[in-house]
Amino acid sequence: MRIGTGYDLHRLVEGRALILGGVKIPYEKGLMGHSDADVLVHAIIDALLGAMGEKDIGTHFPDTDIKFKDINSIILLEKTIEILKANGYKIVNIDSNIICQKPKLMPYIDQMKQKLAPVLGIDTKYLSIKAKTNEGQDSTGEGNSIVAQCVCLIEEV
């Protein structure tokens, strides 16, 4: 069994769609990034790569490569699952947090789980996604960014 952690932060900006956990969230701002900037999926990818002892998301999917410009992060997650399987691992469970002041995410958590679980190859009961705020503190609490954290457990198959 191996444990991995992941973390991602992106700034909120106007003129971009807000995508979290592969779900489009209605909001006046979206996350700035080379891809669709889905912080939750990016944190999950980094946790999985870390658990395998692989290099991080930026090494596997660099923001200097035009083929990743505006890419749906679910595609990057699918590629990460291919790496996981090629290395002889499967996911046991994933626990994650999305930290943002606005918008309220609770209404979208089940949709995120339904979107991500099949890609991850696990039942939704093994995927935890929690929404938190930073109580008005720092850039996230002031509504300027969104953060995601993730811990995963994988095992050899």
pLDDT digits (tens, 9 = 90+) for 28-71: 999 999 999 999 999 999 999 999 999 999 999 999 999 999 99
Q: Enter the DSSP assignment of 125.
A: G
Question: Cβ contacts of residue 134 below 8 Å, gap of 6+?
Answer: 99, 101, 140, 141
pTM comes to: 0.97
Q: Which residues contact 27 (CB under 8 A, 6 or more apart)?
A: 18, 102, 103
Domains of the chain plus CATH, in order, are 2-156 (3.30.1330.50)
Q: For residue range 91-100, what is the model confidence (pLDDT) as tens digits?
A: 999 999 999 9
